């Protein structure tokens, strides 16, 4: 089971304001203590952080000029699911998801901003 809140949602769920590596780890540990096997906290332009029994790592996002972040989270989650479904490891799947979400924020709108597979 994966939980992918953004940093502000992680704060709502855990009471921990995610502002640095230490607080990110504390929030991830709190979510893990609730039974979440693999915690992924999305960090916007900073990428995403994964925490499990085997890994604790921030995966950076490509640098882009964002114009609209409307569908970024949905794009990240969808791309993550695709990559995992194709057998990618968690870090590789997060790189793919970060790439997809980064591309989506360079476009206006929600559904129309989500990249096609051939674009990735």
Rounded distance between C-alpha atoms, residue 18 and residue 24, angstroms? 5
Query: Quick one: tokens of 56?
Result: 């604790």
Report how far apart the first and last C-alpha atoms of the chain are (Å, whole number): 25
Supply the residues annotated as catalytic: 74
Q: What kind and span of H or E run contains 51? A: strand 48-51
């Amino acid at each position: 089971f994966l939980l992918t809140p953004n940093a502000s949602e992680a704060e709502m769920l855990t009471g921990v304001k995610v502002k640095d590596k230490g607080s990110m780890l504390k929030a991830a540990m709190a979510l893990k203590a609730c039974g979440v096997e693999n915690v992924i906290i999305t960090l916007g332009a900073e990428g995403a952080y994964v925490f499990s029994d085997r890994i604790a790592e921030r995966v950076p996002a490509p640098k882009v000029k964002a114009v609209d972040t409307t569908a970024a989270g949905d794009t990240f989650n969808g791309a993550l699911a695709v990559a995992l479904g194709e057998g990618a490891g968690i870090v590789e799947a997060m790189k793919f998801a970060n790439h997809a979400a980064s591309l989506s924020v360079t476009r206006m709108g929600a559904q129309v901003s989500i990249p096609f597979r051939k674009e990735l």
